[in-house]
């Protein structure tokens, strides 16, 4: 048995832990693993790949990034702009399939987010044995309670807030930290609670500048002269739209810029010195946390088990502390967004965190 493995979309801490899990479990079955470079691009003839034996996977569990490389654009992008699905041209599908057949690959594990899994679904619909593994720091896939990478990204937000707090306090400033997450506010919510933010602004809860300014003034009156605000890159004021930092030729766009806008508006309204800091790709880099190392390994091992059981067209999923699986079709159909009335938001409100609403 020969199985293929690829990483698609943006990288995230824990990708190598999945590879470590796949290679380890496959070796125990006597299977060989073919690792394709740069996501689906590695499937273009004649195939860009390396054979992954346990020797090559040694020690990678602690490494950030991906030893296979990845891309979030290229020939096999099937999601554009605000999520419209495009069919991968038949010609490309045939080329990829012939690479897999020529290399004798019996099944392919695709590790990725929404976009990669949408492409994986098209391969699966055309009859190729595919297993999906969910990956994203954004934690925005409905079919899994948690994706690996999210915990590491959140830890980076918490570390940044710990540092921003000391300088905010020294200068009696309002400090705004813009974090990733695209249309989901999970990183901002968990990072903000863990890092002791006073205000968290999420895509799921439209905010009002006046309300955030009121919180700052109220803190001022009670002798608290600095305020820590976390804003998700996809957050927008009531009646406003998300801020786009850049659009690319294939219709994909990058969110960004809301942190600077919030700082400027709050300084204008309150007269208080305000600064913004964008955490950016620091959230995607570096070593995975212990949680992500373990979850990634479990996902990798389970993906191999699904192949062994012949359960193709399925995505590994984490539910109620157990790793199981759902259909890939189910996985890509719904985004996992923060519930504004949910328990985590309620918890934040209970400890005095404002959402600016």
User: Which residues are at the interface with ligand F6P (CB under 6 A)?
Assistant: 10, 72, 113, 136-138, 180-182, 233, 254-255, 284
Nearer to ligand F6P, 47 or 132 (CB): 132
Q: How far apart are CA 58 and CA 118, in angstroms?
A: 31
DSSP per-residue codes, 216-228? HHHHHHTT---EE
Nearer to ligand F6P, 72 or 165 (CB): 72
Nearer to ligand F6P, 29 or 247 (CB): 247
Question: Nearest-CB residue to ligand F6P?
Answer: 180
Report, in angstroms and rounded to the nearest whole number, the Rg of the chain calculated over CA atoms.
22
Q: How far apart are CA 234 and CA 338, in angstroms?
A: 12
Q: Do the beta carbons of residue 70 and residue 7 sit within 8 Å?
A: yes
Q: How far is the CB of 182 from ligand F6P (least distance, A)?
A: 4
Closest CA to 177 of 193, 190, 167, 192: 192
Closest CA to 181 of 6, 354, 340, 12: 12
Nearer to ligand F6P, 198 or 278 (CB): 278
Q: Do the beta carbons of residue 67 and residue 60 sit within 8 Å?
A: yes
Q: How far is the CB of 145 from ligand F6P (least distance, A)?
A: 18
Closest CA to 16 of 281, 314, 299, 280: 299
Kindly name the residue from 11, 114, 138, 151 that is annotated as catalytic: 138
Q: Do the beta carbons of residue 151 and residue 139 sit within 8 Å?
A: no
Nearer to ligand F6P, 68 or 304 (CB): 68
Q: How far is the CB of 189 from ligand F6P (least distance, A)?
A: 14
Q: How far is the CB of 228 from ligand F6P (least distance, A)?
A: 21
Q: How far is the CB of 172 from ligand F6P (least distance, A)?
A: 31
Strand order in the sheet with 2-7: 49-52, 32-36, 2-7, 107-112, 130-134, 314-319, 322-327
Question: If DSSP codes are grouped into helix, strand and coil, which group holds residue 176?
Answer: strand
Q: How far is the CB of 31 from ligand F6P (least distance, A)?
A: 31
Note if 138 is an active site residue. yes
Residue 206 tokens, joined = 């439209």
Q: Do the beta carbons of residue 50 and residue 35 sit within 8 Å?
A: yes
Nearer to ligand F6P, 219 or 261 (CB): 261
- The DSSP code for 251 is S
Question: Apex CA 311: angle with CA 141 and CA 8, to 5°?
Answer: 40
Residues recognised as catalytic: 138
């Amino acid at each position: 048995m020969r199985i293929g493995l690829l990483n698609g979309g943006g990288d995230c801490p824990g990708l190598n832990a999945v590879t470590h899990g796949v290679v380890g479990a496959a070796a125990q079955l006597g299977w060989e693993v073919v690792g394709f470079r740069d996501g689906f691009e590695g499937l273009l003839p004649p195939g860009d790949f390396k054979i992954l034996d346990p020797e090559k996977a040694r020690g990678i569990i602690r490494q950030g990034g991906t030893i296979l490389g990845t891309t979030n654009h290229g020939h096999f992008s099937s999601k554009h702009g605000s999520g419209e699905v495009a069919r991968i041209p038949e010609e490309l599908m045939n080329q990829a399939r012939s690479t897999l057949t020529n290399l004798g690959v019996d099944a392919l594990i695709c590790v990725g987010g929404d976009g990669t899994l949408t492409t994986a679904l098209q391969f699966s619909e055309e009859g190729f044995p595919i297993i999906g593994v969910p990956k994203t720091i954004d934690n925005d896939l409905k079919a899994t309670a948690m994706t690996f990478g999210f915990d590491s990204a959140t830890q980076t937000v918490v570390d940044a807030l710990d540092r921003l707090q000391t300088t905010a306090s020294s200068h009696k400033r309002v400090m705004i930290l813009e974090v990733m997450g695209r249309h989901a506010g999970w990183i901002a919510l968990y990072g903000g609670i863990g890092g002791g933010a006073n205000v968290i602004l999420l895509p799921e809860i439209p905010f009002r500048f006046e309300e955030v300014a009121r919180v700052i003034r109220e803190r001022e009156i009670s002798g608290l002269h600095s305020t820590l605000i976390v804003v998700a890159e996809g957050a927008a004021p009531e009646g406003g739209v998300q801020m786009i930092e850049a659009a690319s030729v294939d219709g994909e766009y990058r969110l960004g810029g809301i942190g600077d806008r919030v700082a400027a508006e709050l300084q204008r309204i309150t007269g208080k010195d305000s600064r913004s800091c964008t955490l950016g790709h620091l959230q995607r880099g570096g070593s995975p946390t212990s949680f992500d190392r373990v979850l990634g390994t479990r996902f990798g091992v389970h993906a191999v088990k699904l192949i062994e059981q012949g359960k193709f067209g399925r995505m590994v999923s984490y539910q109620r502390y157990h790793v199981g699986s759902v259909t890939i079709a189910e996985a890509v159909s719904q985004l996992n967004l923060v519930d504004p009335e949910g328990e985590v938001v309620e918890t934040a409100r209970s400890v005095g965190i404002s959402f600016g609403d």
